[in-house]
Amino acid sequence: MTTQGVAILGSTGSIGTTALRVLARHRERFEVRVLTAHANVAVLRQQVSDWSPGFVALVEGDGEVPATWGRGPGSLVEAATRPDTSIVLNAIVGAAGLDATLAALDAGKRVALANKESLVVGGELVGAAARRGGGIVVPVDSEHSAILQCLGVRGAAEVRRLIITASGGPFREWPIDRIRKATAHDALRHPTWSMGRKITVDSATLANKALEVIEAHFLFGLGYDQIEVVVHPQSIVHSMVEFRDGSVLAQLGVPSMELPILYAFSHPERLEDPGIPAFDPIAAARLDFETVRHDVFPCLGLGVAAGKAGGAAPAVFNGANEQAVALFLEGRAPFGAIADAVHEALARHAGLAGDDLPALWHADAAARRTVKEMFR
Ligand code: NAD
Ligand code: MG
């Protein structure tokens, strides 16, 4: 068995570090040859000394770094297209990951995609890059990994419906008035998953589920009316597929990203890995399902509507959400204002075209500007 070269973009984050832990158990099969980080020099240095990759990039951040390291956002494209890798794990957070996804697909790579924002902002372009370059997208997101695993060899034509599960986040049972005033400390206490700050806040607003519905639409080629969201507080059933004959398959496991990350590398093969936490149905005991409180969590409906509207609307939704979450985390906007900001940006920038990359970046910037103006 030959080893496959792997690039890890965003190696210092939650997904990046989890991926390195998984890959350390599969050194005969995968070799880490590229590492990139945004600004965390200390962790990146340690990873470089552990893995000796052939290419390293630090996008921002100051301090002395070796002269051989790539610098600036452009270095992500080099990192995504190195000839000695066949797999690129995109674990960057936000729209900042889009260029690398496109470049990797154009270069014919397998993109293990954690960076769902790539598909939300540029879903059509991502599909086109894959067709052009021969690359493939394999999802890392646990829900989409579950769907991929349930689908097996079946295509969209045999699917009636996808049922995406949502933990409901930390505010699942909170009254609406209390949610609107929630602090970053409250929002960062996720009940079932340990993740980066941005996605943890997105899980509290349910914007994350909107991003995931759009992601599923592009990954699996299904209409928005075929994608449903159900709250499942235990995060054991990672999602379900209902086939046209009414049969429903689900994928289950403890809430850990190790399996979806490994599966994104090995799909359709399954690798033995005793390090992945075992599932015990007796310990799980209960699986509850509830409807989403759409009136309390408007970001989900706003995002799905943006997906249906198409054009640049998903990019506006994403850009506004990223900006609002950043302001919330800085303590400059209350939790309830995230949905208000997204709503305002979508209303203000309705109908923008999203046919090419410049148009999408224009929409992204316009959305961010609108949100910044609201909280000046
Ligand atoms: P994180 O904040 O922990 O890590 C983000 C990584 O991206 C870091 O390595 C950082 O250095 C890098 N980065 C940040 N901004 C960058 C920029 N502008 N340019 C280049 N690199 C940049 O985030 P995370 O939780 O690991 O999430 C990463 C992605 O995976 C997100 O899209 C998230 O939605 C998705 N995801 C995460 C989880 C999870 O369990 N953490 C689960 C499913 C999907
Ligand atoms: Mg998910």
Pairing of β 237-243 and β 70-71: unpaired
Residue 53 near ligand 1, beta carbon < 6 Å: no
pLDDT digits (tens, 9 = 90+) for 274-323: 999 999 999 999 999 999 999 999 999 999 999 999 999 999 999 999 99
Concatenated DSSP letters of 127-180: HHHHHHH--EEEE-SHHHHHHHHHHTT--GGGEEEEEEEE---TTTTS-HHHHH
Q: Which amino acid is at 264?
A: A
Counting the structural domains of the chain, the total is: 2
Q: pLDDT value at position 307?
A: 98
Pair (95, 160) in one structural domain: no
Pair (206, 116) in one structural domain: no
Encoding tokens for residue 149? 């695993």
Quote the CA–CA distance of 100 and 82 in Å, as a whole number.
11
pLDDT band at residue 214, thresholds of 50, 70 and 90?
very high
pLDDT band at residue 139, thresholds of 50, 70 and 90?
very high
Residue 193 near ligand 1, beta carbon < 6 Å: yes
Q: Is residue 119 part of a domain?
A: yes
Pocket test for ligand 1, best of 11, 18, 40, 92 (most atoms within 8 A of CB): 92
Residue 258 near ligand 1, beta carbon < 6 Å: no
Instruction: Report whether pLDDT(1) > 70.
Output: no
Residue where a domain terminates, one of 95, 123, 139: 139
Pair (80, 55) in one structural domain: yes
Angle at 141 between CA 81 and CA 106, to 5 degrees: 20
Mean pLDDT throughout 16-33?
A: 98
Q: Is residue 243 part of a domain?
A: yes
Pair (103, 203) in one structural domain: no
Pair (207, 130) in one structural domain: no
Quote the CA–CA distance of 87 and 79 in Å, as a whole number.
11
Residue where a domain terminates, one of 88, 122, 139: 139
Pair (130, 32) in one structural domain: yes
Q: Is residue 49 part of a domain?
A: yes
Encoding tokens for residue 186? 């409250």
Pair (9, 132) in one structural domain: yes
Q: What is the CATH number of the domain that holds 63?
A: 3.40.50.720
Residue 91 near ligand 1, beta carbon < 6 Å: yes
Quote the CA–CA distance of 213 and 120 in Å, as a whole number.
9
Domain span at residue 273? 144-171+199-295
pLDDT digits (tens, 9 = 90+) for 32-61: 999 999 999 999 999 999 999 999 999 997
Pair (94, 19) in one structural domain: yes
Pair (129, 150) in one structural domain: no
Angle at 130 between CA 124 and CA 131, to 5 degrees: 90
Residue 14 near ligand 1, beta carbon < 6 Å: yes
- Helix 313-329 to helix 298-309 angle (10° resolution) is 150
Pair (150, 116) in one structural domain: no
The minimum-distance atom of ligand 1 relative to the CA of 200 is: 25
- Helix 14-23 to helix 41-51 angle (10° resolution) is 10
CB 233 within 8 A of CB 290: yes
